[in-house]
Chain A
Amino acid sequence: MNGRDDEVWLDTLLQRQLPSGTSDDGFREQILQRLPPRERPVRRAFGLGVTWGVAALTLLLLPTGEGSMVLSSMYAGNLMVPCCLGTALLWYVVDSLT
């Protein structure tokens, strides 16, 4: 076999061995299922607002033991940090569930 024939033979072999065309057979659906969850900025912001509101109201309306609500007492300021942390935790849970 001379050099030119050799070249042609190898080219033919490579092209024949390497057929193209693979049917989808559910490949697209598998990819779509594995995509990361959608970004939902509006829904997330809404979830944050609602969670924060519910958490704040719950804490502020707790009775203090002096017959008044936290809302109207001097304890409200002291509860700010735990309230924020609790809200953040609650929002994280709500966000991962929705």
Chain B
Amino acid sequence: MASPPDAPTDAELITRVLLRDDRRAFGELVARHQSAVRGLLRRLTGGDLSQADDLAQETFLRAYRGLRGYRGGAKFSSWLYRIACNVFFSRDRGSREAPQEPLALEAGNSGLALPDLVLERHDLEKALASLKPRERAALVLTYANELTHEEAAVVLDCPVGTLKTHVARAKEKLRRQLEEVP
């Protein structure tokens, strides 16, 4: 979210939160970054809006509790993405018994042809859901959240080479799966 030129920077808002427990400043940080964090989690959860928002809330609450741990070396958004990915990975580990499936397409309009974009999106979500969580995260961070490989590697706490391997592997799997779609 773009902020006006005279708006406080993220660093200033963080300082206010840390020094005065300024909830309004934290609210401003949430407002600025909620879209990206929720978007990231929606993609990671295969479009499950309810689960994604639940995880996004957990992400911001963890961020609030751990704000003193933010060193300012990386962008605040990258730090949030890192928390969001960790929240997602821990939730994913907890529900590994039940394999994640993308949400089914609504069948209400059975007589109508679904637009190609919707079908395409559903196919992609289905293919994304079959990827390993780290591969999915690597792909989503670099494509949808438009992070550089270096930034995404920081978020996923792995070397850049490993990140690139995750992305390449994920794309290869996606390509294979999407080619199988009739």
Known contacts A28-B27, A31-B30: A22-B171 contact under CB 8 Å: no
- Asked whether B48 is an interface residue with its Cβ less than 8 Å from the other chain, the reply is no
> Chain B's interface: helix, strand, loop or mixed, by majority?
helix
Q: Is the CB of A35 within 8 A of B23?
A: yes
- Asked if B139 CB lies within 8 Å of chain A CBs, one says yes
Residues from chain A with a CB closer than 8 A to the CB of B145 are 20
Segment among B5-13, B56-64, B104-112 that sits at the interface with chain A: B56-64
List residues of B (27-49) whose CB comes within 8 Å of A's CBs: 27, 30-31, 34-36, 38-39, 42-43
Q: How many A-B residue pairs have CB under 8 A?
A: 76
Q: Judge whether A14 and B35 touch: CB under 8 Å.
A: no
- Interface of chain A: mostly helix, strand, loop or mixed: helix
Distance to closest chain B CB from A7 (angstroms): 8
- Does A24 belong to the interface (CB within 8 Å)? yes
* Interface residue stretch chosen among B84-92, B117-125, B152-160: B117-125
Question: Which residues of A lie under 8 Å from residue B39 when comparing CB positions?
Answer: 18-22
Q: Known interface pairs A14-B139, A27-B53, A38-B21. Does A20 touch B27 (Cβ–Cβ under 8 Å)?
A: no
Interface contact B23-A32, CB-CB below 8 Å: yes
Tell me how far the C-beta of B7 lies from the nearest C-beta in chain A, rounded to whole angstroms: 16
Q: Are A18 and B143 in contact (CB under 8 A)?
A: yes
B135 to chain A, nearest CB (A): 13
Binding site for B on A (CB under 8 A): 6, 10-11, 13-24, 27-28, 30-32, 34-36, 38-39
24 residue pairs of the A-B complex, CB under 8 angstroms, read A10-B174, A11-B143, A13-B178, A14-B144, A16-B117, A16-B121, A17-B120, A17-B121, A17-B124, A18-B43, A18-B140, A18-B143, A20-B35, A20-B39, A20-B144, A21-B39, A22-B34, A24-B31, A28-B31, A32-B23, A32-B26, A32-B27, A35-B26, A35-B64
